[in-house]
Structure 1
Amino acid sequence: MIIMPAVDIKNGKCVQLVQGKPGTEQIVLDNPAEVALEWENKGASVLHVIDLGGALEERGNTSVVEEILKKVSVPVQMGGGIRTLDDATNLLNMGVDRIILGTLAIQDPTTVEILSSEFGSERIMVALDSKDSQVVVRGWTEKTDQTAPELGKIMENHGAGGILFTNVDHEGLLGGFRAQPLLELLEAVDIPVVYSGGVSTLEDVATLSQTDAYGVVIGSALYKGTINFEDTLAYEKK
Structure 2
Amino acid sequence: MIAIPAVDLRGGKCVQLVGGDYDVERVRLDDPASVAREWVHEGFSRLHVVDLDAATSRGHNTEIIRDILHNAGVPVQVGGGVRDDSRIERLLDEGAEWVVVGTRAVDDEDWRGEMAHRFPGRLIIAADVRDRLVVTKGWAETSRRNVIDFVEELRGLPLGGVLVTAVHLEGQMQGTDLPLMEDVAEASAWPVYASGGVSSLEDMRALEHRGLAGAVLGMALYTGAIDPRRLAEEFGT
Which TM-score band applies after superposition, normalised by the shorter structure?
over 0.9
- The 1-side partners of 2:200 and 2:191 are apart by 23
Aligned counterpart, 1:188: 187
Tell me how far 1:160 sits from its aligned partner.
Answer: 2.7
Q: Using the aligned pairs only, state the percent identity.
A: 38
- The 1-side partners of 2:73 and 2:119 are apart by 20
1:123 aligns with 2:113: no
Aligned counterpart, 2:133: 134
How many matched pairs? 237
- SS of match in other structure, 1:145: strand
Aligned counterpart, 2:114: 114
- The 2-side partners of 1:126 and 1:95 are apart by 18
- The 1-side partners of 2:160 and 2:109 are apart by 13
- SS of match in other structure, 2:38: helix
Structure-2-length-normalised TM-score = 0.95
The code of the aligned residue for 2:45 comes to S
Aligned counterpart, 2:216: 217
Contact 1:9–1:32 at 8 Å: present in 2 too? yes
* Mean CA deviation greater in 145-154 or 214-223: 145-154
Aligned counterpart, 1:63: 63
Aligned counterpart, 2:25: 25
Aligned counterpart, 1:35: 35
Tell me how far 1:132 sits from its aligned partner.
Answer: 1.0
Question: Cα deviation per residue 1:157-197 (whole Å; 9 max; x = unaligned)?
Answer: 34333100011111111111230011111111121000000
- The 1-side partners of 2:72 and 2:148 are apart by 34
Question: Cα deviation per residue 1:47-73 (whole Å; 9 max; x = unaligned)?
Answer: 010111111112230001001012211
- The 2-side partners of 1:234 and 1:71 are apart by 22
- The 2-side partners of 1:110 and 1:70 are apart by 32
The code of the aligned residue for 2:132 comes to S
- The 1-side partners of 2:172 and 2:123 are apart by 28
The code of the aligned residue for 1:134 comes to L
Considering fraction of residues, name the structure with more strand.
2
Aligned counterpart, 2:229: 230
The code of the aligned residue for 2:36 comes to A
- The 2-side partners of 1:45 and 1:17 are apart by 24
Tell me how far 1:111 sits from its aligned partner.
Answer: 2.4
Which ranges of structure 2 fall in alignment gaps of 5 or more residues? none
Aligned counterpart, 2:45: 45
- SS of match in other structure, 2:22: coil
Contact 1:209–1:235 at 8 Å: present in 2 too? no
Aligned counterpart, 1:98: 98
- SS of match in other structure, 1:200: coil
1:8-19 equivalent positions in 2, closer than 5 A: 8-19=8-19
Tell me how far 1:237 sits from its aligned partner.
Answer: 7.6
Aligned counterpart, 2:154: 155
1:206 aligns with 2:205: yes
Tell me how far 1:128 sits from its aligned partner.
Answer: 0.4
The code of the aligned residue for 1:190 comes to A
The code of the aligned residue for 1:212 comes to G
Contact 1:109–1:158 at 8 Å: present in 2 too? no
Contact 1:205–1:235 at 8 Å: present in 2 too? no
- The 1-side partners of 2:226 and 2:176 are apart by 15
The code of the aligned residue for 2:25 comes to E
Contact 2:56–2:81 at 8 Å: present in 1 too? yes
